[in-house]
Amino acid sequence: MAQLHVFAASSSSTTTNLLFNSPNNSGFSRVCDNVTYTRNQASFDKLGAKSGEFRGNGALPIGRSSVKTQNKQAIRAVLSSDKEVETNGRGLRGKLNKVVLAYSGGLDTSVIVPWLRENYGCEVVCFTADVGQGLQELDGLEQKAKASGACQLVVKDLKEEFVKDYIFPCLRAGAVYERKYLLGTSMARPVIAKAMVDVAKEVGADAVAHGCTGKGNDQVRFELTFFALNPALNVVAPWREWDITGREDAIEYAQKHNVPVPVTKKSIYSRDRNLWHLSHEGDILEDPANEPNKDMYMMSVDPEDAPNTPEYIEIGIVSGTPVSLNGKQLSPATLLSTLNDIGGRHGIGRIDMVENRLVGMKSRGVYETPGGTILFAAVRELESLTLDRETIQIKDSLALKYAELVYAGRWFDPLRESMDAFMDKITETTTGTVTLKLYKGSVNVTSRKSAYSLYREDISSFENGEIYNQADAGGFIRLYGLPMRVRAMLQKGV
């Protein structure tokens, strides 16, 4: 069940109305312009923060403030920054009222907060989506956002929505980009961007911002979602505007604006993690001739080091969507998380590929997708029982376009939505179970069963039966091969 965590300052801070419930909200509390702040530089813990936790619908008075949750959405609200920065005037590049920033807590997004305030004279609401990237990436975000100058941080748990409404439709469609890529990052960006649009509406923001570079695909994915869901929002992409060119410039800017620089060791790789996958780019991977280092991988063991004994698992599927593991019904996110653990210890789901980015260049990436690789194998195998030849051929051809649309950030494109309706219809009977054997990096199917199976043993058997008369094959072959026969007759003058 979703949880709401509310952090309120003690009497040592100055508190005005922080959150009010909006009568038209869709699960978020409305954030007012007036926020809580303190004039000293004490740490968040020293502020004497109080924590309250709710399940389901509830309301809690905090001084003159109130917080209310609806629809079991998970939200964490954080107090305003200690830093008093004038934001009423026009910034160096213009004037915006309030900006919702896609925030990770790393150096780049920490620097973006004061940059937005300086250049657009705006308040900054930091937004972080929990899509399964791990608790370690969520630790300390409140303090980081506050120290950077944000007026508020909102953290929303999107894991179940991400798997149910984004991953599983792609899985059902059989979407794979350029023969290998299972679209881990591509599927995550629209669910995050959609939540940002929702938050922007609730807090009264007139703009959204992201920390994507101008050379990658993610800038397109975020912004196409913004365009599709609220074209009135302004979009700010600092990496396409500012003079910061690298890590050293960012550190210098942070120090100039008294933004604490993250002290964590800088990874030599650029990584993106969510519940579906973990991607690795950069450093030695930039040369396609280099083999990845063994210690680079984080979700899976080296297949050579995997157990010497295979493991058998059974995946239950209903209408093309996985629902159970070994007979036990699990929620979408729990099912995927469990399979990540199982697949990871057997070295399942490692992909090394050179792909064509949407912006025109080629890039080399290494992906770990243990649970996703298992689920893809199971769903595709069950379809071999439940779909006829023509349907599989059409489905596979559409899957290529479907994957291309998702990769290009066109999740909310009517074309993808229409294709989704087609996939939903033709997989109605893709229901049953598939048993898989996991062993040292390989996934092999050992059993598949379905009440809707089109496979008939009495027809497929080499023994003669009443339904299939082998003598009928002669006439079929003559008719099926007639065009080839006529062409040959023409060539030979017959």
DSSP 148-209: HT-SEEEEEE-HHHHIIIIIHHHHHHT--BTTTB--HHHHHHHHHHHHHHHHHHHHT-SEEE
Instruction: From residue 168, give the alpha-carbon distance in Å to each of 165, 334, 336, 351, 420.
Output: 6, 13, 10, 20, 11
What does the alpha-carbon distance between residue 376 and residue 14 come to, in Å, rounded to a whole number? 54
Instruction: Tell me whether residue 352 is one of the annotated catalytic residues.
Output: no
Catalytic residue among 82, 108, 130, 157: 108
Instruction: Tell me whether residue 189 is one of the annotated catalytic residues.
Output: yes
Q: Which residues pair with 145 in a beta bridge?
A: none
Enumerate residues 6+ apart whose C-beta is below 8 A from 178: 353, 355, 356
Lookup: tokens for 179: 């023969």
Q: What is the chain's alpha carbon radius of gyration, rounded to the nearest angstrom?
A: 27
DSSP 197-260: HHHHHHHT-SEEE----TTSSHHHHHHHHHHHH-TTSEEE-GGGTSS--SHHHHHHHHHHTTPP
Enumerate residues 6+ apart whose C-beta is below 8 A from 409: 186, 189, 190, 217, 220, 221, 222, 223, 224, 225, 358
Amino acid type, 29: S
Catalytic residue among 76, 189, 350, 410: 189
Instruction: Tell me whether residue 108 is one of the annotated catalytic residues.
Output: yes
**Which H helix or E strand runs over 354?**
strand 350-356
Q: Are strands 123-130 and 98-102 parallel, antiparallel or unpaired?
A: parallel
Catalytic residue among 22, 66, 270, 453: 270
Catalytic residue among 218, 273, 363, 448: 218
What does the alpha-carbon distance between residue 194 and residue 196 come to, in Å, rounded to a whole number? 5
**Which residues are catalytic, by number?**
108, 189, 218, 270
